[in-house]
Amino acid sequence: MKFCPECESLLSPQKVGKSRKLVCRRCGYTRSLTSKVKATYRIEEKIDHGPKEETIILDEEDAKQRPMPTVRAVCPRCGHKVAYYWQVQTRSGDEGMTTFYRCQECSQTWREY
């Protein structure tokens, strides 16, 4: 919200020619929308969307296509001793890396706690 410095009534955004301006309907005061003002609006929009989902999505297709390194890890389902593994950086950063495993034999996926 921007107010007119002349008469203190609310300025409304209007298209004047090719540029956008804030216009006072009462006294005719105009103020051009500078890029700085626009940038501020953009930042506000971003905040409105809220924080990104923290849930880590395991993309099955992506995991299949990517060649993954293997490690010696015992599968909790079938007891197989070799599993693929990959690491995911958690959003907050203070938890560090989380390691995920996927059994080479039965595709059981689990994470290291």
Non-local CB neighbours of 70 within 8 Å, separated by 6+ positions: 82, 83, 84, 85, 104
Residue from 6, 59, 60, 112 in contact with Zn ion (CB under 5 A): 6
Residue 94: active-site member: yes
Please report whether residue 71 would count as binding Zn ion according to CB under 5 A. no
Residues 6+ apart with CB under 8 A from 90: 54, 56, 96, 97, 98
Query: Hey, CA dihedral for 83, 87, 90, 96, is it positive or negative?
Result: positive
Which lies closer to Zn ion via its Cβ, residue 6 or residue 59? 6
Q: Which of 66, 77, 91, 111 binds Zn ion (CB under 5 A)?
A: 77
108 is an interface residue for Zn ion by CB under 5 A: yes
Nearer to Zn ion, 20 or 80 (CB): 80
CA distance 111 to 100: 4
Tell me: does residue 24 bind Zn ion (CB under 5 A): yes
Q: Can you tell me which residue has the tokens 């989902």?
A: 53
Q: Which is nearer to Zn ion, 8 or 59 (CB)?
A: 8
Query: Does 83 sit near Zn ion (CB under 5 A)?
Result: no
Residues that are catalytic: 94-95
